[in-house]
Structure 1
Amino acid sequence: MVAMAAVRRLRALATAGPGLRGLSVTSRARPRGLVYEQHGEPAQVLQLKDIDLAELWDSGVRVKMIAAPINPSDINMIQGTYAILADLPAVGGNEGVGQVMEVGSRVTSLKPGDLVIPADAGLGTWRTEAVFSEESLLKMPSDIPVTCAATLGVNPCTAYRMLSDFETLKPGDSLIQNSANSGVGQAVIQIAAAKGIKTINVVRDRPDLQELVDRLKSLGADHVVTEEMLRKPDVKDLLKNVPKPMLALNGVGGKSATELLRHLQHKGTMVTYGGMSKQPVTVPVSALIFKDVKLRGFWMTQWKRDHAQNKEELRKMIEDLCSLIRQGQLTAPACREVPLANYQEALTASMKPYISAKQILLM
C-alpha cells in the first residue's frame, strides 16, 4: 500500500505541468542515497547521505526512484567480492523501479510519468533520485505492480533465460533446482508451471519447513524436498510420477550441486547461476563418462551486456514476463517493504539464514 501511494504521488507530480518540470535542482529537496566509500560489510560501510544530482543532458533522464530490492549481488558488490565493482564512492543497488520526472531534448523513448527499470547493473538504485542515460533504462508498462516491477530485472529474467536457452523443455518435461525458495527459484517454479513443465524443488531443512513447502506449492511447485531427503534412496518413489529431469538449475554449489547431477537425465544440462554455499561444484567422473552431462554457467548481467546493442530480445523477455504477471501466473517473491531510512534493519534481515522474504527499500 505504501509503494502504491508513492506511485500515485509521483504520477501526480509528473503530470503537474511545465511549472514543476521547470523547477531548479536547488529548489527541490536534496537527493539522498546509500553511499559506500570503501568495500566492506554493508552495515559498516553504507551511509545514508545527501548526494549530488547530475545536470540533465540531451540524452539524460531524471528519475525519481520508488522502490529497490536488496539482492545477494548487491551485498557482494559492496563487500568487493562480485565480478563487477563500481568506482568508489558508489551508491548501492542494481535493481529497482522509478518514475521519469524530466527528459533531455534528444530522449525519444521515454516521457515524464513513465515507469522505468535499469537495463544493466551498476546504476546505483538505492537513492531517491538520479539522472540516468536513456539507453540505461527500460520502460515498464504502467499496470505492473510496483513490487513486481522493482524485482523483475534480475531474478525473473534469470529464470526465464535458463528455462529458454539451455534445453528445449516441453509440457510434461521436468527440471530440478536447488535454492528453490530464492527469488530465482520462485520465478522458475511459476514460469515453468505456466509452460506445463514439472519442477522438483530442493530446499534446506528449517524450523518452518511445512510453511515453506505450502507456499512453494501454492506457486505451482510439483515436489518440494529437502537436501537430506534428496540423498535418501526412497526419494525415487516420491518422484516416480515425474520424468527424470533434463535440466538442473544450481544456485548453491557444493554437495547440493552434486546431488542435482545424480538425478539428471542422460545428456542433461546443469546450469550454475549462483554459489550460496561458497563451495565449489564437484562433478563425479561417472556423471561425465556414463551420463555425458553438460555443465554450463549463466550470469544475467553478461547476457544483458551481450545484447546491449540490440535490445529487442530483452524487450521481448520483459513483455513475456509482464504478460505472465497480468495473467496472475507470475508474482513478486515474498517481500518486506522497508523505508529507506531504516536500511540497516533491511540489511540485517537480508543476510539472515532461512529468510525467504526479499527486503524492498521504499524511497
Structure 2
Amino acid sequence: MWLRLQSVCLRKLTVRPGYVSGVFDARLRRSVSHSASRAATCKALQYNKHGEPAQVIHLVDVDYGPVGAKEVLVKILAAPVNPSDVNMIQGTYAILPDLPATGGNEGVGEVSEVGCGVTSLKPGDWVIPKDAGLGTWRTAAVFSEDDVVSLPNDLPLLAAATLGVNPCTAYRMLADFEDLKPGDTVIQNAANSGVGQAVIQIAAARGISTINVIRDRPEFTQLSDRLKAIGATRVIKEEALRKPDMKELFKTCPRPKLALNGVGGKSATELLRHLQVGGSMVTYGGMAKQPVTIPVSALIFKDVKVRGFWVTQWKRNQSHDGRAFRSMIDDLCSLIKQKKLAAPACNEVHFEEYIKALNAAMQPFTSSKNVLIM
C-alpha cells in the first residue's frame, strides 16, 4: 500500500465509520489509474545530427512516460515549418537542443490528461509552447504545465498553430519601439512572410498604414492583391525604394516612424533612408544573408535608431512574470475572433508526408507556410 501511495499525489482522504478497507482500497486504485498514465509511444520527427532537414530528419517511434504531478499530456494537432526550425536542424540557429532532438518550435495541441498538481489547465484545453525548443513535430508529448499557455479551443486550427512566433513578433515590434498612433506609417520588407502578413493585419486593426515591400516575381500582382485584401495600405517592389516615386508616395502619407527589416543587405539600407527623423529600424531576420549597412547621414542628420528583436529572448525575459505574455496572447486571440487576424497562407501537409513540407520550406520566393497536420 505504501509503495502505491508514493506513485501518485497524496490526497486527503476521510474514512467515515463503517467504511471497510476494501472500499478504501478500491477508491485508491481508481485514484492511481486517473492520476498516472502508462508509458506510451508517439510518432516524432527527430534528427541525430545537424544538416539539411530532408536528409537528417527521420520519422521514429518515441516513448513518453507517465504524466507527473505538474505535467500535462498533449495531443499535437498541427505544427508549422518555420525558418527557425530549419536553421535549428542545420545547426545555425542561436539556440540548439541536445541531440537527438525533435524538430519544431511552434504548434498547437489539445490537453488530454493533466497531473494531479496542475491548476491552470484541464483536458480539452488547447495549448501552445511558451518558448522555443519543445519539439512540436510529434503526435503527442508530456510537457510541464509551465511550458505551455492555453488558447480558446474554438480558434481556427491554422491560426492557433501559427500564433506563437510570427504574430507575437509582429505584435511586439509594433508595440515596443515607437509610440504608434492611428494615422502613423510603418514600412517593412519581406511583407509576404508570416511576420509581414501579421504586421499588416495588426497595424490595420490599429489604424496604422503600412508600406509593404516585396521582391519582384511573375505573380507580383496576385500577391499584391492578396496583401491588400488583408489590410496592406501600399505594396511596392524593392526597386521602387530607390526611385523618385517614393517622394510622391510621401505626399499622400507621412514618412514612417518604424521600419521592420527581415531581409538585410541593400533592402534594409533603403528602408532606413525613408524613415522620418528620429525613427527606428528594427531587424528581426536576415533572409538575404547580407549585413545591414547604415548610412552615416541617417545617423547624424536623422538621428535614426537601429535595433534588433528576437521573440524567443523577449519570451525568456518575461518568464518570471507571465502577465505580459498572457496579455499579448489574449489580444491576438481577440483579433482572430474578430476576424481581424488570420493565419498566413498555408499549405496543409499530412504528418507522415513531412518530406514535402521540408522541401517546400527550402524553396525561394515562398509565400505560404507549410503546416504539418497530425
- When normalised by structure 1's length, the TM-score is 0.92
Quote the RMSD (CA, aligned, Å): 1.6
Q: Note closer, same or farther for the CA distance 1:220–1:19 as it changes in structure 2 (3 Å cut).
A: farther
1:126-165 equivalent positions in 2, closer than 5 A: 126-165=137-176
Instruction: Give the fraction of aligned pairs with identical amino acids, expressed as a percent.
Output: 66
- Asked if the contact 2:36/2:66 (under 8 Å) is kept, the reply is no
- Asked if the contact 2:75/2:141 (under 8 Å) is kept, the reply is yes
- Asked if the contact 1:21/1:101 (under 8 Å) is kept, the reply is no
Alignment-derived partner of residue 65 in structure 1: 76
Alignment-derived partner of residue 284 in structure 2: 273
1:86-97 equivalent positions in 2, closer than 5 A: 86-97=97-108
Residue 20 of structure 1: CA displacement?
9.8
1:310 aligns with 2:299: no
- Asked if the contact 2:36/2:67 (under 8 Å) is kept, the reply is no
1:360 aligns with 2:371: yes
- Asked if the contact 2:35/2:116 (under 8 Å) is kept, the reply is no
Q: Which of 81, 105, 119 lines up with 1:108 in the alignment?
A: 119
Alignment-derived partner of residue 4 in structure 1: none
Residue 55 of structure 1: CA displacement?
2.5
1:40 aligns with 2:78: no
Q: Which of 217, 221, 246 lines up with 1:210 in the alignment?
A: 221
Alignment-derived partner of residue 288 in structure 1: 299
- Asked if the contact 1:93/1:124 (under 8 Å) is kept, the reply is yes
Q: Note closer, same or farther for the CA distance 1:101–1:262 as it changes in structure 2 (3 Å cut).
A: same
Counterpart Cα distance in 2 of 1:137 and 1:205 = 39
Residue 350 of structure 1: CA displacement?
1.0
Counterpart Cα distance in 2 of 1:220 and 1:236 = 23
Q: Which of 340, 348, 361 lines up with 1:350 in the alignment?
A: 361
Q: Deviations over 1:318-359 (max 9, x none)?
A: 010111111111000001100111000011111111121100
What one-letter code is carried by the residue in structure 1 that aligns with 2:149? L
Q: Secondary structure at the match of 2:354?
A: helix
Counterpart Cα distance in 1 of 2:319 and 2:127 = 17
Counterpart Cα distance in 2 of 1:194 and 1:186 = 13
Alignment-derived partner of residue 14 in structure 1: none
Residue 143 of structure 1: CA displacement?
1.8
Q: Note closer, same or farther for the CA distance 1:22–1:184 as it changes in structure 2 (3 Å cut).
A: same
Q: Which of 109, 117, 121 lines up with 1:98 in the alignment?
A: 109
- Asked if the contact 1:69/1:360 (under 8 Å) is kept, the reply is yes
Counterpart Cα distance in 2 of 1:59 and 1:24 = 13
Residue 54 of structure 1: CA displacement?
2.7
Alignment-derived partner of residue 245 in structure 1: 256
- Asked if the contact 1:40/1:80 (under 8 Å) is kept, the reply is yes
Counterpart Cα distance in 1 of 2:113 and 2:222 = 45
What one-letter code is carried by the residue in structure 2 that aligns with 1:344? I
Q: Note closer, same or farther for the CA distance 1:20–1:72 as it changes in structure 2 (3 Å cut).
A: farther
Q: Which of 86, 92, 95 lines up with 1:84 in the alignment?
A: 95
Q: Which of 254, 268, 274 lines up with 1:263 in the alignment?
A: 274
- The total of aligned residue pairs comes to 345
Alignment-derived partner of residue 11 in structure 1: none
Q: Deviations over 1:31-56 (max 9, x none)?
A: 01000001111011000110111321
Counterpart Cα distance in 1 of 2:33 and 2:344 = 36
Counterpart Cα distance in 2 of 1:36 and 1:54 = 20
- Asked if the contact 1:54/1:130 (under 8 Å) is kept, the reply is no
**Unmatched 5+ residue regions in structure 2?**
1-30
- When normalised by structure 2's length, the TM-score is 0.90
1:332 aligns with 2:339: no
What one-letter code is carried by the residue in structure 1 that aligns with 2:316? R
Residue 22 of structure 1: CA displacement?
7.8
Q: Note closer, same or farther for the CA distance 1:147–1:99 as it changes in structure 2 (3 Å cut).
A: same
Counterpart Cα distance in 2 of 1:308 and 1:206 = 42
Alignment-derived partner of residue 55 in structure 1: 66
Alignment-derived partner of residue 191 in structure 1: 202
Alignment-derived partner of residue 23 in structure 2: none
Residue 25 of structure 1: CA displacement?
3.9
Q: Deviations over 1:2-26 (max 9, x none)?
A: xxxxxxxxxxxxxxxx999689546
Moved more, 235-244 or 316-325: 235-244
Q: Secondary structure at the match of 2:98?
A: coil
